[in-house]
């Protein structure tokens, strides 16, 4: 612990950083400060001063507020509470919705310039259908359990459980089902979900998964209630359309060795096959065998669609190593959709994919910095970013999704 930790400073907040915090400076040193907005002057308490290059701080009070500040959408996360008692998970809830999206746009542009080494023209972060204040969209929430059995979200940037009376980012059905004042002694967490069919449900601890059905447009997807599905009630339909539109139809060959990597239960493979018809050949690859089993069922109507279980890194590497001359031709004509985890695809996967030399890649990203790094890696291997759109799938948080199209230049 340094000598500044716990001290309060009055600081001017200058710009936004990735990760839901703003940037301020004190005597030339960078301070990452939470619960502030660029343009404000705030009193902030130093929480970490061990790093030479930067400190971290939490806003205690606002001296000069931004015109974009509003009462926090979640009382449990507001400045009325001391920082360690503020619920985490709605770190942009004190900012008007339009300005949240503007800040996210700045983060995307900055990431692309610094990490992606590419300048993008104005790319707005597009809103989804929903409330004017960005509440009521979450269909899945994990509540943590403390040593006394009490449930709640973690406090911001800690593993301390905060008891709350409501979950404003969640749908009405999820709020109604959430057991906020019940005790769950001996459990680690309680998941609450409200799928698009079948009503809300709880998953307590490690109970055996059951099957649920999610509806996207006129299509049904079956999956485990414990499995991955997009959190915003309109996210799956938004990404379906986004991926369909991101594919350059002139470069798409339905008979090629098209791939859907990190494919989950087959949402994006279905999006591709829906756009390009019943003859579409597409292989969905996913490391979770339970998800792959569901993907096989969800894709059964397309004769050329199939689902395979494998770690994407190894699967793609083995594909490149074993490809025959005919395979290589089908791969050169391929469209590859990839939706990697937050850490991105990374150097090894990018190198393997570029070695397959597909006609185009559609990259769905939940982290702008990871996407930007990978865009730079693809550029080194002859792939050019030709299209980028961004979507606000997580209002009142710093998260958003981007969909990039890369083509062989």
**Binding-site residues from annotation for S-adenosyl-L-methionine:** 230, 262, 286, 339
What distance in Å separates the CA atoms of residue 44 and residue 20, rounded to the nearest whole number? 16
Q: Radius of gyration over alpha carbons of the chain, in Å?
A: 23
Annotation: binding site: 230, 262, 286, 339
CA-to-CA distance for 407 and 246, rounded, in angstroms? 11
How many degrees, rounded to 5, is the angle at CA 176 between CA 171 and CA 177?
Answer: 100
CA distance 363 to 261: 10
Closest by CA position to 278, among listed 308, 299, 258, 250 = 299
Catalytic residue chosen out of the listed positions 21, 95, 307, 366: 366
| Catalytic-residue membership of 366 | yes
Token pair belonging to 392: 């606000």
Q: Tell how strand 219-224 and strand 211-216 pair up.
A: antiparallel
Q: How many Å apart are CA 357 and CA 383, to the nearest integer?
A: 9
User: Residue 175 CB: number of other CB atoms within 10 A?
Assistant: 20
So which residues are the catalytic ones? Answer: 366
């Amino acid at each position: 612990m340094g000598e500044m930790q716990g001290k309060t400073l009055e600081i001017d907040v200058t710009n936004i950083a990735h990760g839901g915090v703003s940037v301020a400076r004190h005597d030339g040193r960078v301070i990452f400060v939470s619960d502030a907005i660029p343009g404000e002057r705030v009193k902030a308490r130093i929480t970490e001063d061990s790093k030479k290059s930067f400190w971290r701080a939490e806003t205690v009070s606002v001296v000069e507020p931004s015109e974009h500040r509003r009462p926090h959408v979640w009382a449990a996360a507001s400045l009325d509470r001391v920082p360690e008692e503020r619920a985490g998970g709605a770190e942009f809830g004190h900012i008007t919705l339009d300005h949240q999206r503007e800040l996210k746009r700045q983060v995307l542009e900055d990431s692309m310039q610094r990490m992606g080494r590419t300048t993008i023209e104005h790319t707005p972060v597009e809103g989804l259908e929903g409330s004017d204040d960005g509440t009521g969209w979450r269909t899945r929430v994990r509540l943590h359990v403390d040593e006394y059995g009490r449930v709640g979200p973690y406090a911001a940037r800690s593993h301390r459980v905060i008891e709350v009376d409501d979950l404003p980012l969640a749908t009405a059905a999820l709020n109604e089902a959430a057991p906020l004042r019940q005790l769950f002694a001996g459990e680690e967490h309680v998941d609450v979900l409200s799928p698009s069919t079948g009503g809300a449900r709880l998953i307590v601890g490690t109970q055996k998964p059951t099957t649920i059905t999610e509806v996207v447009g006129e299509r049904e997807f079956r999956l485990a209630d414990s499995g991955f599905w997009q959190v915003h009630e309109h996210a799956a339909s938004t990404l379906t359309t986004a991926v369909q539109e991101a594919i350059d139809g002139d470069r798409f060959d339905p008979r090629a060795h098209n791939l859907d990597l990190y494919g989950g239960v087959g949402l994006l493979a279905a999006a591709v096959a829906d756009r390009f018809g019943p003859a579409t050949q597409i292989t969905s690859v996913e490391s979770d065998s339970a998800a792959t089993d569901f993907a096989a069922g969800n894709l059964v109507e397309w004769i050329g669609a199939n689902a395979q279980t494998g770690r994407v890194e190894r699967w793609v590497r083995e594909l490149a190593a074993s490809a025959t001359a005919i395979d290589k031709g089908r791969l050169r004509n391929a469209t590859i959709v990839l939706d990697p985890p937050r850490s991105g695809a990374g150097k090894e996967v990018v190198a393997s994919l570029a070695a397959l030399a597909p006609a185009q890649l559609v990259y769905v990203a939940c982290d702008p910095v990871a996407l930007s790094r990978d865009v730079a890696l693809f550029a080194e291997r002859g792939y050019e970013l030709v299209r980028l759109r961004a979507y606000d799938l997580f209002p009142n948080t710093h998260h958003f999704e981007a969909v990039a199209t890369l083509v062989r230049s």
